[in-house]
Amino acid sequence: MKKEYGPSQGAEMMRGLVEAAEEMRLSELALTNQDAALLESMGVEAPAKVPGDFRCARCGVQFRDGVWFLILRDGTTVCKTDCTPRLAR
C-alpha cells in the first residue's frame, strides 16, 4: 500500500531539508585572506590570489579567490572580516 503525503507533510519535509543544508553551509570552514596567506607561507595549498596587486587597505594582505571583501564609500577595499587588531584596555 502506497502512503500518500498531505501538503503540510511535504512542506515540513522541505523545511527540514532547507535547515539541514543551512547547517552544512554554516559548518564549512571559511578562510580569511590572512588565513590563506598564512597557509601559503607554510607550503599548504590555499585559494589563488586575485590577479593584480589587489590588497586590503588596512592589513595589506592580497585578496584571494572566493574570499569576500568590502568596497568602502571612499573606494578603498578592505577585508570583510575585522583584520585590524583591537586595542586592549
pLDDT of residue 3: 59
| Segment (H or E) for 78 | strand 77-79
Spatial contact of 46 and 39, defined as CB atoms under 8 Å apart: yes
Radius of gyration of the chain from its Cα atoms, rounded to whole angstroms: 21
Q: List the beta bridge partners of residue 64.
A: 49
Provide the whole-model pTM: 0.58
Enumerate the domain spans of the chain. Answer: 7-79
**Count of beta carbons in the 10 Å neighbourhood of residue 58:** 13
Question: CA-to-CA distance for 67 and 79, rounded, in angstroms?
Answer: 9
Q: What is the pLDDT of residues 21-65, one digit of tens each?
A: 666 555 556 788 888 888 888 888 888 899 888 899 988 999 998
